[in-house]
Amino acid sequence: MRRIAQHTCTDMARIDLDLAHSYKPLPARDADYALLPLAMTFDDGGAYALLGPSGCGKTTMLNIISGLVAPSQGTVRFDGEDVTSRTPQQRNIAQVFQFPVIYDTMTVAENLAFPLRNRRMPAERIGQRVGVVAEMLELTAQLPQRAAGLSADVKQKISLGRGLVRNDVSAVLFDEPLTVIDPHLKWQLRRKLKQIHRELKLTLIYVTHDQVEALTFADQVIVMTHGRAVQTGSADQLFERPQHTFVGHFIGSPGMNFLDAEIQGDRLRIDGVDLQMTADSIAALSQAGRVTLGVRPEYVTVSDSARPGAMSAQVVKAQDIGTHWMVTGKIGERVVRARVSSGAAVPGAGDTVWLGLLGPHTCFYKDDRLLA
Amino acid sequence: MALELADIVLRVGAATYLYSMSLRLEPGALTVVLGATQSGKTSLLRIMAGLDAPTSGRVLMDGADVTRVPVRRRDVAMVYQQFINYPSMTVFGNIASPLALRGAPNIDSRVAELARKLHIDAYLDRLPAELSGGQQQRVALARALAKSAPLTLLDEPLVNLDYKLREELREELAQLFAASDSTVVYATTEPTEALLLGGFTAVLDAGELLQYGRTADVYHHPKSIRVARAFNDPPMNLVEARAVAGGIVFRDGLRLPLRVPAAAESGLTVGVRASALRVSPRPGDITIEGDVQLAEISGSDTFVHAATAIAPLVAQLTGVHRFDLGARVNLHFQPTESYLFGSNGELLLAPDRAAHLH
């Protein structure tokens, strides 16, 4: 099957965006833009997610790629060719939306075949292709059934199938496609989508505000906030080395801890206390002046005595989260959270502890951008 | 305020929404009502509020029978999933309304204080429609808190918000509840939310009250498989087993050295939490081989779904880990971290918690 897929995927395209978009006629300030000027490439056959809170610009970007929205400036290119003024049909884009878009009066098989019939594919090829997609989505048993009586889950699977059935598309775009799926079934559909991507090698672009969805599905996640794409990276890059404070905050529950700090020679001053930095950090940061230290709760260590790289903190609370403990401490007025494994000793509220902030996973930011 | 439900039942037509249950809420504390969609959470909250009367049984507030007392004659504040505000009133007017109604003094300063705590003080002159969803729900929460009712009921108040907003607002709410004397009931479908809120938890499943107690106790000592399943995300891994001399055997012959109570024999179920399964072995571990079905990444954790010879298992690993679909994986756990349930589904054995603390 993989051979077939690769063989027939000649229409897949690399997508280059070099554009900006504003819904206002004369944008003046950053806030007037739904998408600030950006240049971005989606490689042929990649799995991408656009992740961010509502209003971040991710749906605008998806609509510009599909051709539903024309960017107010700049271009969209498919394999180098300018397609900015073309419609979704002309761009050869398949789309899957939040809610099922299917024909209730047709059978499941007819629904899946519909996009192929429209392209006048020979009946034999249609049957073969519908069979492959139905098999992957575990819809084979339902192929002869009418769509009308099926549950929302199954209907959305049919929608996914309709989006994936053509292998001559430039890309398949998904807009929060698992919203209607029961939470307990979501992981199975996430798995299906990953398998399908691996087998069909389609370019898939997936919009979501849910970090689990984005990080699980995509090889590359584009994190967006206020019309800006602040980082494109794999799940572990976003977790380990957030390039922007927003990524540190948005990825992870709870997100990264941030503390104001000042570099003074080989020392880091936080809330009036000096910490000795490592040689690597000194080299990278010596001229940085005022910075923001970022460290994830997973990497903050808790101990009951002073240690290098640790600051004393008052424990505000210690929560038993079942799988682990979350210790919330205060360094001056700043809240710092530490994730402590269930096996370790856990301090109580009011205790003084030392929170280890400096280590290989500690990041430093200036104007929200990663320095080192 | 002490709220007590005595043998309440709710039937609607031929259907039973709530089976006979009795519950005495810890006064002044937070109780989480945890259950899946359709488990009866909203029905239960409506009875507590006085919006509905139970088919049978009694509702007592501070010992007084209020079963048939309608909501408008009870002192109750309620917050719903949907962001419900007075659309033609400003944010100020919305928050002030319960105070104005009872002619409270110092309305301006009280509204300002609540608005500041919920970070909506910059929007007091706006109408709700001019705010984001998160801000609208903050207004509804501020109005409920302004009421200073002895009983505050919240029905999945954060479910319609983005997860980051949810995280922030949950933290703030927990602080506000802790500082108030109100008895608070908070319904949610999410086990993690219950653990983060702390307090007490009542587990509902298919209209039945399964267990009530301190949140951490219920989590660590689920009375039954049903509680263990409901109060864990992902659900606890459950594997069929039977007792033999010196332990427990799984279907494929794998043996667990567990102290099995004498009464237990066949039809047992071993429960292992996702967080107890690891990919790095420790001495004394039991090891189960599997094929990776999917690695779900939540940001802080990776949930590895694996097909194994004994059952489909999920392992929770801290941080971000990559696994190819179909990759071989060895999952390890300590036998002492397993739960054991009898053939009737009741808990026989739980991991020793004291061993983990200090």
Which one-letter amino acid corresponds to residue A350?
A: G
Of the partner residues B273, B297, B356, the one whose CB lies closest to the CB of residue A215: B297
Does residue B321 share a domain with residue B247?
A: yes
Residue A6 pLDDT greater than 60, yes or no: no
Residue A50 pLDDT greater than 60, yes or no: yes
- Do A329 and A335 touch, CB atoms closer than 8 A? yes
Q: Which of A239, A342, A351, A361 to mutate to test the interface with B (most CBs of B within 10 A)?
A: A342
Confidence band (pLDDT; 50, 70, 90) for B45?
very high
Longest dimension (CA), chain B: 73
Per DSSP, B138 falls in state H
Q: Is B305 within 8 Å of A191 when comparing Cβ atoms?
A: yes
Residues whose CB falls within 8 Å of the CB of residue B307, separated by 6 or more in sequence, listed in order: B290, B291, B293
Sheet holding B312-318, edge to edge: B312-318, B301-308, B286-297, B328-333
Beta-carbon count within 10 A of A1 CB: 10
A350: tokens are 């009011």
C-alpha distance from A191 to closest chain B C-alpha (Å): 6
Confidence band (pLDDT; 50, 70, 90) for B358?
very low
| ipTM confidence | 0.87
Residue B185 pLDDT greater than 60, yes or no: yes
pLDDT at residue A11, as a whole number: 63
Q: Does A354 touch chain B (CB under 8 A)?
A: no
Task: Report, as an integer, the average pLDDT of A172-197.
Answer: 86
C-alpha distance from A245 to closest chain B C-alpha (Å): 14
Q: Which of B168, B302, B177 is nearest to A254 (CA)?
A: B168
Q: Is A215 within 8 Å of B299 when comparing Cβ atoms?
A: yes
| B357 belongs to a structural domain | no
Does residue B218 share a domain with residue B247?
A: no
Does residue B290 share a domain with residue B208?
A: no
Q: Does A209 touch chain B (CB under 8 A)?
A: yes
Confidence band (pLDDT; 50, 70, 90) for A9?
very low
% of chain A surpassing 70 pLDDT: 97
Instruction: Say how far apart CA A80 and CA B130 lie, in whole Å.
Output: 43
Instruction: Say how far apart CA A358 and CA A153 lie, in whole Å.
Output: 47
Q: What is the pTM of this model?
A: 0.90
Does residue B158 share a domain with residue B67?
A: yes
Residues 151-190 of B with CB under 8 A from A: 162-165, 167, 189
Task: Report, as an integer, the average pLDDT of A223-228.
Answer: 96
Q: Does A255 touch chain B (CB under 8 A)?
A: yes
Confidence band (pLDDT; 50, 70, 90) for B246?
confident
Q: Does B254 touch chain A (CB under 8 A)?
A: no
Instruction: Say how far apart CA B339 and CA B237 lie, in whole Å.
Output: 10
Residue A200 pLDDT greater than 90, yes or no: no
- State which H helix or E strand residue B107 sits in: helix B107-117
Task: Report, as an integer, the average pLDDT of A205-231.
Answer: 95
- Do B210 and B204 touch, CB atoms closer than 8 A? yes
Last residue of a domain, one of B207, B225, B243: B225
The CATH number of whichever domain residue B298 belongs to comes to: 2.40.50.140
Instruction: Say how far apart CA A16 and CA A41 lie, in whole Å.
Output: 5
| B354 belongs to a structural domain | no
Collect all residues of chain A within an 8 Å Cβ-Cβ radius of residue B275. 322-324, 342
Which one-letter amino acid corresponds to residue A304?
A: D
Total residues belonging to chain A: 372
Q: Give the pLDDT confidence of A148-176 residue by residue, as tens digits.
A: 989 888 999 999 999 999 988 999 999 99
Does residue B253 share a domain with residue B211?
A: no
Fold of A256-370: OB fold (Dihydrolipoamide Acetyltransferase, E2P) (2.40.50)
Q: Is B219 within 8 Å of A320 when comparing Cβ atoms?
A: yes
**Which phi and psi (to 5°) does residue A203 adopt?**
-80, 120
Q: What pairs with residue B5 in β-bridges? A: B23, B59
Q: Give the pLDDT confidence of B314-334 residue by residue, as tens digits.
A: 999 999 999 999 999 999 999
Instruction: Say how far apart CA A101 and CA A108 lie, in whole Å.
Output: 12
Per the model's pLDDT, the better-predicted residue between A55 and A310 turns out to be: A310
Per DSSP, A187 falls in state H
Omega into A254 within 30° of 0, i.e. cis? yes
Q: How many helices (H) and strands (E) in chain A?
A: 11, 21
Interior/surface letters B201-234, b for 16+ CB within 10 angstroms, e for the rest:
bbbbbebbbbbbebbbebbbbbbbbbbbbbbbbb
pLDDT at residue B314, as a whole number: 96
Collect all residues of chain B within an 8 Å Cβ-Cβ radius of residue A320. 195, 198, 216, 219
Q: Give the pLDDT confidence of A257-269 residue by residue, as tens digits.
A: 999 999 988 899 9
Q: Which of B50, B42, B49 is nearest to B18 (CA)?
A: B42
Q: Give the pLDDT confidence of A312-325 residue by residue, as tens digits.
A: 999 999 999 988 99
Q: Give the pLDDT confidence of B105-164 residue by residue, as tens digits.
A: 999 999 999 999 888 999 999 999 998 888 899 999 999 999 989 999 999 999 888 888
**Angle, vertex CA B23, rays to CA A323 and CA B64, nearest 5:** 145
Does residue B128 share a domain with residue B248?
A: no
Q: Which of A163, A338, A358 is nearest to A273 (CA)?
A: A358
Instruction: Say how far apart CA B144 and CA B154 lie, in whole Å.
Output: 9
B108: tokens are 């301006």
Instruction: Say how far apart CA B21 and CA A371 lie, in whole Å.
Output: 58
B303: tokens are 């949930």
Collect all residues of chain B within an 8 Å Cβ-Cβ radius of residue A255. 164
Residue B354 pLDDT greater than 70, yes or no: no
C-alpha distance from A86 to closest chain B C-alpha (Å): 34
Longest dimension (CA), chain A: 76
Residues whose CB falls within 8 Å of the CB of residue A65, separated by 6 or more in sequence, listed in order: A15, A17, A42, A76, A93, A171, A173, A205
pLDDT at residue A3, as a whole number: 39
Tell me the CATH number of domain A2-246, given options 3.90.320.10, 3.50.50.60, 3.40.50.300, 3.90.79.10: 3.40.50.300
Please report, for residues B80, B193, B223, B231, B339, the alpha-carbon distance to residue B204 in angstroms, rounded to integers and kept in the order given: 19, 15, 13, 10, 21
Q: Does A323 touch chain B (CB under 8 A)?
A: yes
- Do B53 and B17 touch, CB atoms closer than 8 A? no
Helix-strand-coil split of chain B, %, nearest 5 = 25, 35, 40
**Residue listed under structure tokens 């139970």:** B54
The separation between CA A42 and the C-alpha centre of its own chain, rounded to angstroms, equals 14
- State which H helix or E strand residue B126 sits in: none
The separation between CA A67 and the C-alpha centre of its own chain, rounded to angstroms, equals 22
Q: What is the extent of the structural domain holding B302?
A: 234-349
| B278 belongs to a structural domain | yes
Instruction: Say how far apart CA A9 and CA A168 lie, in whole Å.
Output: 6
Last residue of a domain, one of B225, B260, B287: B225
Task: Report, as an integer, the average pLDDT of A14-24.
Answer: 95
pLDDT at residue A319, as a whole number: 93
**Which phi and psi (to 5°) does residue B96 adopt?**
-75, -20
Side-chain-side CA neighbours of B310 within 13 Å: the count stands at: 25
Of the partner residues A209, A298, A323, the one whose CB lies closest to the CB of residue B316: A323
In chain B, the number of structural domains is 2
- The mean pLDDT of chain A is 91
Residues whose CB falls within 8 Å of the CB of residue A359, separated by 6 or more in sequence, listed in order: A295, A299, A301, A309
Instruction: Say how far apart CA B85 and CA B78 lie, in whole Å.
Output: 12
% of chain B surpassing 70 pLDDT: 98
**Interface contacts A/B by beta carbons within 8 Å:** 106
Collect all residues of chain A within an 8 Å Cβ-Cβ radius of residue B167. 253-254
Q: Give the pLDDT confidence of B190-210 residue by residue, as tens digits.
A: 999 999 999 999 999 999 999
Q: Which of A320, A324, A328, A353 to mutate to test the interface with B (most CBs of B within 10 A)?
A: A320
Q: Does A44 touch chain B (CB under 8 A)?
A: no
Beta-carbon count within 10 A of A176 CB: 18
pLDDT at residue B211, as a whole number: 98
Q: Does A215 touch chain B (CB under 8 A)?
A: yes
Residue of chain B whose alpha carbon sits nearest to that of A296: B300
Q: Is B299 within 8 Å of A342 when comparing Cβ atoms?
A: no
- The mean pLDDT of chain B is 92
Q: Give the pLDDT confidence of B60-86 residue by residue, as tens digits.
A: 999 999 999 998 899 999 999 888 999
Of the partner residues B163, B195, B294, the one whose CB lies closest to the CB of residue A322: B195
Beta strands in B93-251 (DSSP E): 151-155, 183-188, 200-205, 208-214, 237-244, 247-250
Does residue B243 share a domain with residue B344?
A: yes
Does residue B76 share a domain with residue B120?
A: yes
Does residue B177 share a domain with residue B144?
A: yes
Residue A8 pLDDT greater than 60, yes or no: no
B243: tokens are 């007792």
- Do A325 and A315 touch, CB atoms closer than 8 A? no
- Do B20 and B208 touch, CB atoms closer than 8 A? no
β-bridge pairing B56-61 and B3-12:
antiparallel
**Residue listed under structure tokens 């000649």:** A10
Q: Give the pLDDT confidence of A338-362 residue by residue, as tens digits.
A: 999 877 789 999 999 999 999 999 9
Q: Which of B30, B197, B296, B314 to mutate to test the interface with A (most CBs of A within 10 A)?
A: B296
β-bridge pairing B200-205 and B30-34:
parallel
Residue A300 pLDDT greater than 60, yes or no: yes
C-alpha distance from A106 to closest chain B C-alpha (Å): 31
- Do A347 and A315 touch, CB atoms closer than 8 A? yes
Does residue B184 share a domain with residue B134?
A: yes
Confidence band (pLDDT; 50, 70, 90) for A185?
confident
Beta-carbon count within 10 A of A125 CB: 11
Decide whether A2-246 matches A256-370 in CATH topology.
no
| B356 belongs to a structural domain | no
**Residue listed under structure tokens 């509905």:** B52
Confidence band (pLDDT; 50, 70, 90) for B235?
confident
Q: Does A360 touch chain B (CB under 8 A)?
A: no
- Do B54 and B10 touch, CB atoms closer than 8 A? yes
pLDDT at residue A343, as a whole number: 75
The separation between CA A224 and the C-alpha centre of its own chain, rounded to angstroms, equals 9
Confidence band (pLDDT; 50, 70, 90) for A5?
very low
Does residue B254 share a domain with residue B218?
A: no
The CATH number of whichever domain residue B214 belongs to comes to: 3.40.50.300
Q: Which of B76, B73, B87 is nearest to B3 (CA)?
A: B76
Does residue B194 share a domain with residue B83?
A: yes
Last residue of a domain, one of B188, B204, B225: B225
